[in-house]
Amino acid sequence: MKNLKIFVVSDSVGETGEQVVKAAVSQFRPDFDNTIIRRFPHIENNDHIEKIVEIAKVQDAIIVFTLVEEKKRQLLIDYCHQQNVSYIDLLGPIIELFEEKLEQKALEEAGIVHKLDEDYFKKIEAVEFAVKYDDGRDPRGLLLADVVLIGVSRTSKTPLSQYLAHKRYKVANVPLVPEINPPEELFLVNPKKCFGLVISPEKLNIIRKERLIALGLSDDASYAKKSRIEQEIANFYKIVEQIGCTVIDVTNKAVEETANDIIEKIEQNK
């Protein structure tokens, strides 16, 4: 069986080129017998391109490349012609077709697909974190979080946690109740990443009454009474004073507004 050598040359990791090569080779050699696929990733230097072509010439290898920059593609093609090395340009033709169709030049920025993939997985990780450490379920998450939210019930801690998670921030939140001491971990958190959410007693009274009615309960329960709400808010201020964290009034704010305030503070403190 004849030997087959393929050099996969890329200005990114070369995964796309390698997968295409493997798909093609499998049509001839499902077990990849007598086949060598060698990857040359992150090629930026023109000298590297020349050396790869020279090696391919000596080893009788085919060059398959995924280079997004037009000058580098053309340089590699020129070298291949000079050395009589067989090559396949995987990205060039489709990029040129898209440029013609869209009437605009390509960005020519390597690795964009992988950056998008990485960004996506960061978002998923942050969302899973927010779910795991929601509502004070596991205090250990407080020390792992990028942002810690504290506040009395119905101050939008959970929706705010999810919104920030979609912005790639790992968020944990803790409800504050006068009868229950906050977890010890809360007082070990960097105050700069901790945010107390407060709301006017009048607004909270309305929200809690609506919540009770939605649950099919009477709206005159202690949970919605002004005296109870004032007690909870007094306890809230006592705790945030101990922590020394920023307090944000969410009374008439949309979740997006509060999130933007938090992000601005976090970025300033970096």
200-252, pLDDT tens digit by residue?
Answer: 999 999 999 999 999 998 888 899 999 999 999 999 999 999 999 999 999 99
Residue 151 has pLDDT above 80, yes or no: yes
**Cα(132)–Cα(257) distance, integer angstroms:** 24
**Cα(198)–Cα(200) distance, integer angstroms:** 7
Handedness of CA 64, 67, 44, 121 (dihedral sign): negative
pLDDT recorded at residue 112: 73
Pairwise pLDDT comparison (194 vs 112), residue with the higher score: 194
**Cα(14)–Cα(45) distance, integer angstroms:** 16
pLDDT band at 116 (very low <50, low <70, confident <90, very high): low
| Whole-number Cα distances in Å, 145 to 5, 55, 126, 151, 197 | 48, 49, 9, 16, 17
Residue tagged 């080129």 (tokens): 17
* Closest by CA position to 170, among listed 178, 161, 160, 182: 161
Burial of 263 (0-12, 13-18, 19+ CB in 10 A): middle
Is there a contact between 195 and 259 (Cβ–Cβ < 8 Å)? Answer: no
pLDDT recorded at residue 119: 79
Average predicted confidence (pLDDT) for the chain: 94
Residue 195 has pLDDT above 70, yes or no: yes
Residue 117 has pLDDT above 80, yes or no: no
**Cα(57)–Cα(63) distance, integer angstroms:** 10
Close Cβ partners of 231 (under 8 Å, ≥ 6 residues apart): 178
pLDDT band at 120 (very low <50, low <70, confident <90, very high): confident
Q: Which residues of 84-109 are buried (b: 16+ CB within 10 A; e: fewer)?
A: ebebbbbbbeebeeeeeeeeeeeeee
Residue 270 has pLDDT above 90, yes or no: no
pLDDT band at 1 (very low <50, low <70, confident <90, very high): confident
Overall average pLDDT of the 28-52 stretch: 93
Residue tagged 């050396």 (tokens): 51
- The amino acid present at 207, given as its one-letter code, is I
Residue 114 has pLDDT above 80, yes or no: no
Question: pTM here?
Answer: 0.63
Overall average pLDDT of the 91-107 stretch: 93
- The amino acid present at 225, given as its one-letter code, is K
- The amino acid present at 4, given as its one-letter code, is L
